Amino acid sequence: MRDLLEEKPVAKTSLAAHGLRFEIDGQTKVDIPLLRLDGEGPTMILGPNGAGKSLTLRLLHGLLTPHAGQISTPATRQAMVFQKPVLLRRSVLANMDYALRAAGVSRAKRRKLALDFLHEAGLAGKAKQAARTLSGGEQQRLALIRALATDPEILFLDEPTSSLDPSATQAIEAMVLRAASHGTRIVMVTHDLGQAKRLGRDIVFLHHGRVACHQPTDTFFATPDSAVAAGYLRGDLPI
């Protein structure tokens, strides 16, 4: 594994996992002795199905408690966008308001903040609509700005565009890049190599719950440090 510190400027928010291990029914599903996300990102987590991408993301976010090891980060504000957006059975605006209230934003500020974000996502006209009647792309946009409205230092995304069409995917990617340029540390799972190239500054490649390699995006795609990753890029089945 190469040290990314030499090549990338140090971001404000770093994240590291030490001795991370997670089991399901006695089987080790994630085993990461050391993973340092020191660069400014976005970091893309790649790997075949069953490599432990989603589990790793949940462990990093703290949704799952590891059987061993710990996550260290100075970031106190974190948010996550899920593969299938989980929208409350309320209006679009009420979804925003709920997240802001949970984040401790005062009632006086919530409405304006929510409307600003809805406007940015092109959803201002649908503020009063039932959130779950939005289209798939709109739902994921709402889930994304609901996460961003709480001003997270780290934003985790778990294949947020896997069920979206290209134009909806493009909208989400633009919003992710904008958030990254405003200083939000992005850690994103994807199985879309093109997306990893478009968005990622560095790639973490997982295989069988282990980090096979962690490199800057351009060198990863040119000369991956791991044979499994090289095979994956060629289109081999990583058995």
Beta pairing partners, 156: 80, 187
Q: In the range 142-161, which residues lie near another protein by CB under 8 A?
A: 150
Is residue 221 a contact residue for another protein (CB under 8 A)?
no
E strand map for the chain = 15-24, 27-37, 43-46, 68-72, 78-81, 154-158, 185-189, 202-207, 210-216
What residues from 69 to 88 belong to the interface with another protein (CB under 8 A)? 78-80, 82, 86, 88
Give the shortest CB-174-to-another protein separation in angstroms.
23
> Is 90 an interacting residue with respect to another protein (CB under 8 A)?
yes
Facing residues of 78 across strands? 154
Which of 61, 185, 201, 214 binds another protein (CB under 8 A)? It is 61
- Least separation in angstroms between residue 6's CB and another protein is 33
In whole angstroms, how close is the CB of 95 to another protein at the nearest point? 10
- DSSP annotation of 155 reads E
What three-state secondary structure class fits 191? Answer: coil
- The CB density around residue 174, as the number of other CB atoms within 10 Å, is 10
Please check whether residue 187 is in contact with residue 57, taking contact to mean a CB–CB distance below 8 angstroms.
yes
102 binds another protein (CB under 8 A): yes
Residue 57 sits in the site that holds another protein (CB under 8 A): no
What are the respective helix, strand and coil percentages of the chain, to the nearest 5?
A: 40, 25, 35
Q: Using the rule CB under 8 A, is 24 a contact of another protein?
A: no
22-46 burial: b if 16+ Cβ within 10 Å, else e: beeeeeebbbbeebbbbbbbbbbbb
Residue 187 engages another protein in binding (rule: CB under 8 A)? no
| 43 counts as binding another protein under rule CB under 8 A | no
Q: How far apart are CA 195 and CA 169, in angstroms?
A: 9
Which residue in 71, 103, 177, 193 binds another protein (CB under 8 A)? 103
Q: Within positions 114 to 143, which residues make up the interface with another protein, using CB under 8 A?
A: 130, 132-133
Q: Which residues bind another protein (CB under 8 A)?
A: 58, 61, 63, 78-80, 82, 86, 88-90, 98-99, 102-103, 130, 132-133, 150
